[in-house]
Amino acid sequence: MVSDRPLPAPGANPDASFWRGKRVLLTGHTGFKGAWLALWLERLGADVTGLALAPVEPSLYALAGVDAKIKSRLVDLRDAAGVARVVAEARPEVVVHLAAQALVRASYREPLATFATNTMGTAHLLEALRGRSDVRVAIVVTTDKVYRNREWVYPYREDDALGGHDPYSASKAAAELVAASYRHAFLEAQGVALATARAGNVIGGGDWSEDRLIPDLVAALRALRPVEIRYPDAVRPWQHVLCSLDGYLRLAERLCADPTAAGAWNFGPTPEEARPVSWVVDRFAAMWGAELLRLEPKGEQPREAPVLRLDASRAREALGWRPAWDIEDALSATASWYRAHADGDDACELSLAQIHDYRAASPAPTG
């Protein structure tokens, strides 16, 4: 059921008056983050068209009935003509590009497919926006892993060098370069404000992706079995999925009012809030109410950076964005979602209730 907490104060972002009736093209709407954003945009009154592959089941998209709430178009980003057809049909005013091959280990197995989707797929989408008078804002969502990881303790800022050891990270760094090129060569002169958004590690209910920490933990806890943890000491900037989506929505509003805000933006917790994987595992298990045996897998594992922190001070200062939930809130909301869903609660109502609660806890913008 929807929470009875007070509604957000008038004027708190995201601003429903901005989104009501706005034509939005959302790529990746069948994925974890995309399904959450589709639900939020629909609740804000936006006219949403989704572009993505068919969902991998189980999925929040199917369980929450997202297909009944927006116009869904199943198209592969690698199909340039198909992407162009959806863009022409949707006539978007705002584009949020989430669709991607988003798994590091999968990128080692299928590097060419990863580059084709993440790099050329982004180029196909941006090419489809050329010459379209409807578009005002485009946000290309990449990742916190686009930075050349120097394995230092300092948080990465938007002007730090791009890089990428694994194919996933490199393909997303390349997508950043594609976006910058299209911004300066074509879209800026066309009146389109194009930004890239780099978010920290997101968690939340409704994620069943392979090789992701929280889905692995939920499966282990429900089956009463040990869980394999590849890098227990790896430090990451964890945040609830709603924190990052809140940032994207606020950024779109700002870009519409101020196209000079185009560029790269980080969205993540403060650097001191980053936590090692082992801490997240133990804290989540405690919130679940069970002990969990951690096992490190045998054999060589794909390389991953040991430490990763983001400096999101630009978003805090310029957008007034601050995560309404800290890591404790994020883990609590995530555990609560999975427990309630396992007990038979409706996935859509659970998600909408948490969106309501997040907005109610969100401070009014200060930027």
CATH of the domain at 159: 3.40.50.720
Domain residues for 28?
A: 16-361
Q: Please compute the mean of the pLDDT values over residues 51-72 and round it to a whole number.
A: 97
Domains held by the chain: number: 1
CA dihedral (353, 354, 360, 365) positive or negative: negative
Residue 227, pLDDT score: 92
Helices 213-223/277-288 angle, 10° precision: 40
Q: How far is CA 224 from the centre of its chain?
A: 30
CB-based contact 98:35 (threshold 8 Å): no
Q: How far apart are CA 346 and CA 292, in angstroms?
A: 27
Q: Is residue 198 part of a domain?
A: yes
Q: Is residue 367 part of a domain?
A: no
How many C-beta atoms surround the C-beta of residue 170 within 10 A? 21
Residue predicted with more confidence, 333 or 5: 333
CB-based contact 168:125 (threshold 8 Å): no
Q: Please compute the mean of the pLDDT values over residues 78-96 and round it to a whole number.
A: 98
Take residue 28 and report the two structure tokens written for it: 């990746």
Between strands 94-97 and 137-141, the pairing is parallel
Q: Is residue 320 part of a domain?
A: yes
pLDDT tens for residues 126-157? Answer: 999 999 999 999 999 999 999 998 877 789 99
Q: Is residue 217 part of a domain?
A: yes
* Phi and psi torsions of 138, nearest 5°: -135, 130
- Rounded to 10 degrees, the C-alpha dihedral 225/229/233/237 comes to -100
Under the banding of pLDDT at 50, 70 and 90, the label for residue 8 is very low
Q: Is residue 1 part of a domain?
A: no
Q: Is residue 133 part of a domain?
A: yes
Q: Is residue 10 part of a domain?
A: no
Q: How far apart are CA 362 and CA 308, in angstroms?
A: 26
